[in-house]
Amino acid sequence: MLKDPRTTGALAPSSARLARELANLAKDSENVLELGAGTGAITQALSKVVNQEKLQIVELQKKLAVSLKKQYPNLKIVHSSAHFALDNYRHCGSVAVVSSLPFRSLPPAMKHLTVQSLLAFLKVSPGSQLIQYTYGLRAPFRAPAEFKWRQIKWVFTNFPPACIWVLTKTPDQ
Ligand SMILES: C[S@@+](CC[C@H](N)C(=O)[O-])C[C@H]1O[C@@H](n2cnc3c(N)ncnc32)[C@H](O)[C@@H]1O
């Protein structure tokens, strides 16, 4: 956090309750892609409810990615930026993208690239969703009209309290 506050975005790991809520929303998708896994609090909850072949984990900071690989030797852990991982992610079927990315504090250029990759990904991946939490009152980032944010719930047993949102592409008419 002290070394890179803008990309880390939180003072403490996600709580077990927040992690369970996110995993519960993701578990019925055919694939799960976790972005910004950090210390692995959400990875742990996901690994309990998602088949390991269907789960891929992405983390930007090398030290954290190496530590995740040690903790979860059987999972596919990628040391990469989220936008690069999304642009190169090969899958079959629906995907739940579970994200801890700190959109409120990310450097603008990185935020722009990441949002563009997420929107492009949702456009070409039918039935897929972005499951994202934020510490703010508004949706994590603005999305064009063809996408819809749904506010799911606040989790107060997290520091700071976090609100879970889901972004989907609205079906073509
Ligand atoms: C809020 S913290 C992680 C919280 C995590 N749920 C935990 O409990 O540790 C956000 C994480 O996203 C990672 N991150 C930030 N920008 C990223 C990007 N563009 N691509 C991949 N990971 C990124 C940071 O390195 C950090 O580990």
How far is 100 from 83, CA to CA, in rounded Å?
14
What is the structure's pLDDT at 44? 98
Residue with CA closest to ligand 1 atom 15: 7
What is the structure's pLDDT at 68? 98
Cα(61) to centroid(ligand 1), Å: 8
> Does ligand 1 come within 6 angstroms of the Cβ of 41?
yes
Closest by Cα among 70, 141, 48, 152 to 101:
141
Cα(172) to centroid(ligand 1), Å: 32
Domain count along the chain? 1
Burial 87-124 (b: 16+ CB within 10 A, else e): eebebeeebbbbbbbbbeebeeebbebbbebbbebbee
Domain of residue 66, CATH code: 3.40.50.150
What is the structure's pLDDT at 153? 98
Cα(82) to centroid(ligand 1), Å: 9
Joined together, the tokens standing for residue 132 give 């994202």
Q: Which residues of the chain have pLDDT under 70?
A: 1-3, 5, 9, 173
Residue 18's domain spans which residues? 5-169
What is the structure's pLDDT at 1? 57
pTM comes to 0.96
